[in-house]
Amino acid sequence: MKISIFGMGYVGCVSAACLASAQHSVIGVDVSEAKIALLNQGISPVTEEQLPEKMANAVTRGYLQATRDARAAIHTTDLSLITVGTPARDDGSLELAYMIQVIQEIAQALRDKTSPHTIVIRSTVPPGTTERLLIPQLTAQSGRTLNQDLLVCYNPEFLREGSSIKDFYNPPFTILGTEHDDTFQQVAQLYTDVRGAVLPCSIQAAEAMKTLCNVFHALKIAFANEAAAVLHGCGANAMEAIDLFLRDEKLNISRAYLKPGFAFGGSCLPKDVGAMIHLGQSHGVATPLLSGIRVSNDAHLERALAIIQRQNVRKIALIGIAFKPGTDDLRDSPALNLAARLLAEGYELRIFDPIVRIQNLIGANALHMQRHLPDLGDYLDDHLDRVLNHGAVWVIAHAEPGVYQQILAYTPKAPLIDLSGQFARDAGQFSYTGLCWMPTP
């Protein structure tokens, strides 16, 4: 392919060298004359393992050259990668000025080019940027039509400085944000010698991916450091404990607990989060991350409440009151807390949970109910039909499989607020609101 790459920093240089090694014809474009001069001598302006040899080889063999001339680069290539910087502003937002400038340069150059052109955006941008900002500018200023003579794909970059050439060939996956099949097929051609799955997705999901991954990596580092500091503070061998922790690939290093749903609760998680924070405090170890867990969990409950309040109805059917399905444990149940808040605000609540029987509650479980919602029995009804019939809105904290089927079959249907994501796949059957997700397509 004939490829132009706009922005010859770390991402641009590594991409250029690797694509040129695969015998694509590559033109690097940058605003820095100094970088252009170095690149045309086969010298990499950035330092990365294996990059000098790859770059020199590509230039010597005629597969890579560099220019300041955006127009010439667009007119002599079929596909452009955009890898300009999107640095952080003081308020944490990303600076998109370089991105907008390069989009304008490309759009201008496309005006008097006749053949189709493909734009692959690799710089990190907030979700929505490509569709709301960049594509409208590209089409308006180039006079082209998306998915006809202009193809656009958002393709996040996962390289890490220090091992970027290895990462280029071994990414966790290749994400191609486009719902246009021809665009997907064409951009996938760039990565025929790259390992891992090539996954199509919406542009917004692809844009979210890099930030999501980096934030999770940062969260993991902060967790490991803060947890180790607490353990070390109380005299435990933190490395030994964390090494053991990492051996659990069933619940710790796994997909478990990483799907969005309702707030957590129960007798273990809140208690042990509190216990670790207390341990930190008693040994003089600050625990801002661990302390934030409760704050985040409470904010999630407030989100649910706000969605219900926005419905402007008084009669609510709440399905699921235990802290999760399959148990009658009410301790620290977010659904119980939500019910108490709704009742305090004067909502007419009916609750169904096939497992919870007031007369069977005992010990700490009964005590918790007494403290937080002593008259729960007045609102619980063991007839699902009656509860659904009562609700002008159905709020589903969780539903056992049988209950799920009954809700699907019940008519007439009320608007459904899904707090756990269970109904996302069947959302089309309801007037559906997910707690913080859209229906599954």
Ligand X SMILES: NC(=O)c1ccc[n+]([C@@H]2O[C@H](COP(=O)([O-])OP(=O)(O)OC[C@H]3O[C@@H](n4cnc5c(N)ncnc54)[C@H](O)[C@@H]3O)[C@@H](O)[C@H]2O)c1
Among residues 401, 228, 393, 268, which one has the least CA distance to residue 318? 393
Check 18, 234, 268, 436 and give the catalytic one. 268
**Residues 204-223 contacting ligand X, CB under 6 A:** 210
Site residues (CB under 6 A) for ligand X, limited to 221-260: none
Least separation in angstroms between residue 13's CB and ligand X is 8
Judged on CB neighbours under 10 Å (0-12, 13-18, 19+), 305 is: middle
Shortest Å, Cβ 1 to ligand X? 20
Nearer to ligand X, 159 or 419 (CB): 159
Helix axes 269-282, 288-309, angle to 10 degrees: 140
Quote the least distance from Cβ 150 to ligand X, whole Å: 19
Least separation in angstroms between CB 422 and ligand X: 35
> Of 67-96, which residues contact ligand X (CB under 6 A)?
83-86
Q: Which is nearer to ligand X, 95 or 240 (CB)?
A: 95
Which of 4, 16, 30, 300: binder of ligand X (CB under 6 A)?
A: 30
Residue pair 107/135 in contact by the 8 Å Cβ criterion:
no
| Residue count, binding to ligand X (CB under 6 A) | 27
Is residue 32 involved in binding ligand X (CB under 6 A)?
Answer: yes
> Is 18 labeled as catalytic in the residue annotation?
no
Which 3 state secondary structure label does DSSP give 198?
A: strand
Block residue for tokens 């998680």: 269
Q: Among all residues, whose Cβ is closest to ligand X?
A: 9
Q: Please report where in the chains the tokens 């063991």 appear, as a residue.
A: 382
Q: 3-class SS at 212? A: helix
- CB within 8 A of 436, min separation 6: which ones? 260, 303
DSSP 8-state symbol, 53: H
Comparing C-alpha atoms, which of 75, 78, 69 is closest to residue 33?
69
Q: Which stretch binds ligand X (CB under 6 A): 23-31, 259-267, 325-333, 396-404?
A: 23-31
- Interface with ligand X, residue 7, by CB under 6 A: yes
Q: Which residues pair with residue 3 across a beta bridge?
A: 26, 79
Report the residue from 31, 146, 188, 222 that binds ligand X according to the rule CB under 6 A. Answer: 31
- Report the distance separating Cα 332 and Cα 345, nearest Å: 20
Nearest one of 62, 8, 3, 6 to 34, comparing CA atoms: 8
Q: Which of 17, 102, 190, 369 binds ligand X (CB under 6 A)?
A: 102
**334 makes contact with ligand X (CB under 6 A):** no
Instruction: Let me know: does 152 contact 133? Beta carbons within 8 Å.
Output: no
Print the binding letters for residues 155-194 with ligand X: x by CB under 6 A, - otherwise.
--x-xxx---------------------------------
Structural element, H or E, at residue 121:
strand 117-121
Return the number of the residue (165 or 304) whose C-beta is nearest ligand X.
Answer: 165
SS3 185: helix
Give residues with Cβ within 8 angstroms of 368, minimum separation 6.
Answer: 330, 331, 332, 336
CB of 80 to ligand X, least distance (A): 11
Cβ closer to ligand X: 35 or 350?
35
Closest contact distance (angstroms) between CB of 172 and ligand X is 12
* Residue 396: exposure state from Cβ atoms within 10 A (0-12, 13-18, ≥19): buried
- The amino acid at residue 236 is A
**Would you say 71 or 341 has its CB closer to ligand X?**
71
Smallest distance from the beta carbon of 101 to ligand X, in angstroms? 4
Q: Is 9 in the site for ligand X (CB under 6 A)?
A: yes
Q: Which residues contact ligand X by CB under 6 A?
A: 6-12, 29-32, 35, 83-86, 98, 101-102, 105, 123-124, 157, 159-161, 210
Active site positions, annotated: 268
